[in-house]
Amino acid sequence: MEDLLADATAGEPIHGLKWTRKALRNVAKALRRKGFKVSHETVRRLLRQLRYQLRVNRKHLGKRQAGERDQQLRYLARKRRAFLKAGKPVISVDAKKKERGGNFRNSGRTWRREAVSVLATDFPRDADGKAIPYGVYDRIPNLGFLGIGTSPETAEFAVNVIRAWWQTEGCAAYPEQQELLIQADSGGANGYRSWLWKSELQRWADETGLTLVVTHYPTSASKWNWIEHRLFSQISRNWAGQPWSAYETILKFIRTTRTEQGLHCIAYVDKADYALGRTLSIEQKQSISVRHHRVLPKWNYTIKPRTIDQVIS
């Protein structure tokens, strides 16, 4: 049977697990043609003994990979450990997958007496609205904080969610701290190339007096961002199989997301209209108090609050 499956088999060398794309009944038919008297259930039992399992594709590889990826990931881990050891706040930020409002199919299964009937097509014109969840994951209290945007994802929206987290949760949890570590992806509204992102962070640093230490995950490494596997995956699991027809539905499934490790979530809807296409002048860029780190400066930098004279000038 192993020879029969060889052309359709791949494997994981460490644990010896194997998987095949051939259906049980097809394998049983092929074996019977070779003179073996077996049923598909016998094939199932034998495959389990041989450590075969049903598998799905796993998103794990990146076609584009930064040459300094490993160095940057080690730097991210060192910074995170240093801040946590000192009791300083560490947050991971990112935007979750954009959602369309309406009676659309949502992947996943839930226990029900009858299946929920949804639209047969997913045309954008049938949507009742859109939701852009932008999240902050605070490691120390194991807290997820999400703003649900209704307009385009911009740097201003992203920083406003971080600002709302600090005003409602962060400043009370870390009253004596003057530094905050922000770990973000390298693209999107919080991308390392975005001057609008840095400008909005500068405005917020001026308001709060916080020194913002920002480190970015390298290209094709966003799955290592803590917010992805500690927050967004749990929300998706709680939300599975449930279409949303109102923003209250989204808020309900986010707010009721819990884990045995103590994860809890806060969410709100941000209905502000954020404009696309904003640009900064050379003078505005030069006014940002940003200091790039010696280690991979394109991904790592610190933004310090400015004095009143610096802001006016």
Q: What is the pLDDT of residue 242?
A: 73
Tell me how long the chain is. Answer: 313
Q: Rounded to whole angstroms, how far apart are CA atoms 142 and 138?
A: 6
Q: What is the pLDDT of residue 203?
A: 97
Mean pLDDT for 112-136 is 73
Q: What is the pLDDT of residue 244?
A: 72
Rounded to an integer, what is the distance from CA 157 to the centroid of its chain? 17
Which domains are present in the chain? 2-49 (no CATH), 69-312 (3.30.420.10)
pTM for the whole thing?
A: 0.76
Q: What is the pLDDT of residue 25?
A: 86
Higher pLDDT, 309 or 215: 215
- Are β-strands 90-95 and 179-184 bridged in parallel, bridged antiparallel, or unpaired? parallel
For residue range 55-76, list pLDDT tens digits in order: 666 665 555 556 789 999 999 9
User: What is the C-alpha radius of gyration for the chain, rounded to an integer number of angstroms?
Assistant: 25
Q: Is 177 helix (H, G, I), strand (E, B) or coil?
A: coil
For residue range 188-198, list pLDDT tens digits in order: 999 999 999 99
Higher pLDDT, 173 or 243: 173
